[in-house]
């Protein structure tokens, strides 16, 4: 009989944790594992691949920022009906609500996830501080806490997390979907409205304070002074023509003819290979940035700030720079060009294939689930 696992997450909008959940659940051996996914809010766009894979998706119908006793009762009824051996929760709100539901329903095992580093640093993150501190006090309740980054574990230990057991499972990337497309680069750029022969530096993120887009734009302005033939691409939620604040900032830095806004895309395997360099300039919160592994799998070297496990992921296949320092970021791009993007891109692809392949992540999760299901784990 397959091992039954219920995954509880806030929603299935585009994001690192959401993408990892979808990648994991669709990759598991369905003859050995039976999964369903429950979302606190409306599911979002990433529910589609789950539904297409015949994996049940249930929404509790909560509204963002509003607690709901009715949603909790719906979750309790769902757990009573499906009787999972394992309840695995993803992200802070799901950790808390899942713990309350597990106290009532008593699934044999409760697993939390830590998918980030310290998220309480930013001014916009104040509402989440009480939640993180509450979870720290309750962190011995789950049977284990899964963490996807070394820095995430370290930061949460500092916050006060003291679980019975930490389990480190890095994210995995589908290296067949995300692969180099060197021969198609020119064609892909034309489709995106980019010059096929111009140095292209990309930022894949969302328009949020933690992503520090202003440092990227300031670095772009500095870089343009020495490299006139360069185009910068912003891809993700909020990076669209209707973002008046962003467009004003781009114009103030005289970057209107250098910056291209793609908005949210669902075909990232066709976006990364159009870049010569991928940039991550976040200043907090990142644990294991999926964008680095996805770009590297496409043979695109990265320049990233020293946040989360970025330096551990990139190693000597890219460049790490200090946070909030446009001059350092611009110099990082120059350094990477001097070292050779082509050579570093091949190095990056090999590193991800060896260490962060999706199959490797799947095998680690399957081994964890099977170890819990063994009689001696009772």
Residue-wise pLDDT tens digits, 71-99:
999 999 999 999 999 999 999 999 999 99
What pLDDT is stored for residue 125 in this prediction? 63
What pLDDT is stored for residue 121 in this prediction? 77
What mean pLDDT do residues 154-180 have?
97
Question: What contacts 217, CB < 8 A, 6 or more positions away?
Answer: 232, 249, 250, 253, 255, 259
What pLDDT is stored for residue 377 in this prediction? 43
pLDDT band at 10 (very low <50, low <70, confident <90, very high): very high
What pLDDT is stored for residue 316 in this prediction? 97
Angle subtended at Cα 41 by Cα 39 and Cα 46, rounded to the nearest 5 degrees: 60
pTM of the complete model: 0.94
Question: What contacts 254, CB < 8 A, 6 or more positions away?
Answer: 221, 224
What mean pLDDT do residues 40-57 have?
95
What pLDDT is stored for residue 119 in this prediction? 87
What mean pLDDT do residues 283-291 have?
96
Q: Is the pLDDT of residue 64 over 90?
A: no
What mean pLDDT do residues 281-287 have?
96
What would the two tokens of residue 109 be?
């095992």
What pLDDT is stored for residue 123 in this prediction? 58
Please indicate whether residue 370 or residue 64 has the higher confidence score (pLDDT).
370
Q: Domains along the chain?
A: 3-172+357-377 (3.40.50.2000), 182-355 (3.40.50.2000)
Alpha carbon distance 97, 63 (integer Å): 14
CA 39 to chain centre: 17
Nearest to 42 by CA among 23, 57, 26: 57
Compute the mean pLDDT over every residue in the chain, rounded to the nearest whole number.
Answer: 95
What pLDDT is stored for residue 216 in this prediction? 98
pLDDT band at 167 (very low <50, low <70, confident <90, very high): very high
Find the range with the poorest average confidence among 66-70, 264-268, 311-315: 66-70
Query: Coil, strand, or helix at residue 234?
Result: strand
Query: Coil, strand, or helix at residue 312?
Result: helix
What mean pLDDT do residues 274-303 have?
97
| pLDDT tens column, 92-144 | 999 999 999 999 999 999 999 999 999 887 655 677 889 999 999 999 999 99
Query: Coil, strand, or helix at residue 169?
Result: coil
Question: What contacts 28, CB < 8 A, 6 or more positions away?
Answer: 35, 362, 365, 366
What pLDDT is stored for residue 122 in this prediction? 65
Alpha carbon distance 97, 74 (integer Å): 12
Q: Is the pLDDT of residue 222 over 90?
A: yes
Q: Is the pLDDT of residue 335 over 60?
A: yes
Per DSSP, what are the bridge partners of residue 346?
none
What mean pLDDT do residues 231-235 have?
98
Q: How many CB atoms lie within 10 A of CB 126?
A: 9
């Amino acid at each position: 009989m397959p091992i039954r696992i219920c995954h509880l997450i806030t929603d299935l909008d585009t994001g690192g944790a959401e993408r990892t959940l979808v990648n994991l659940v669709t990759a598991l051996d369905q003859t050995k594992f039976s999964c369903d996914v429950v979302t606190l809010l409306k599911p979002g766009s990433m529910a589609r691949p789950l539904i297409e894979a015949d994996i049940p998706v249930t929404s509790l119908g909560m509204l963002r920022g509003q607690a709901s006793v009715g949603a909790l009762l719906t979750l309790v009824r769902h757990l009573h009906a499906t009787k999972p051996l394992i309840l695995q929760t993803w992200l802070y709100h799901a950790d808390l609500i899942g713990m309350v539901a597990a106290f009532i329903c008593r699934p044999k095992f409760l697993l939390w996830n830590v998918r980030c580093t310290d998220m309480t640093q930013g001014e916009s993150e104040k509402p989440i501080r009480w939640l993180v501190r509450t979870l720290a006090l309750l962190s011995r309740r789950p049977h284990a806490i899964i963490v996807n980054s070394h820095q995430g574990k370290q930061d949460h230990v500092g916050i006060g997390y003291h679980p019975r057991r930490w389990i480190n499972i890095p994210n995995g990337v589908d290296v067949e979907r995300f692969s180099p497309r060197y021969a198609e680069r020119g064609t892909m750029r034309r489709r995106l409205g980019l010059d096929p022969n111009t140095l292209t530096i990309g930022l894949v993120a969302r328009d949020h304070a933690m992503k520090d887009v202003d440092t990227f734009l300031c670095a772009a302005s500095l870089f343009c002074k020495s490299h006139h033939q360069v185009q910068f691409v912003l891809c993700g939620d909020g990076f669209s023509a209707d973002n008046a604040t962003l467009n004003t900032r781009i114009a103030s830095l005289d970057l209107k003819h250098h910056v291209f806004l793609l908005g949210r895309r669902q075909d990232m395997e066709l976006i990364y290979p159009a870049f010569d360099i991928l940039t991550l300039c976040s200043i907090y919160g990142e644990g294991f940035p999926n964008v680095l592994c996805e770009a590297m799998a496409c043979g695109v070297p990265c320049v990233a700030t020293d946040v989360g496990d970025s330096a551990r992921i990139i190693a000597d296949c890219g460049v790490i720079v200090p946070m909030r320092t446009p001059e350092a970021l611009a110099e990082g791009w120059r350094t990477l060009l001097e070292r050779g993007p082509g050579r570093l891109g091949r190095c990056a692809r090999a590193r991800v294939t060896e260490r962060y392949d999706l199959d490797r992540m799947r095998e680690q999760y399957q081994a964890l689930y099977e170890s819990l299901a063994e009689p001696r784990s009772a």
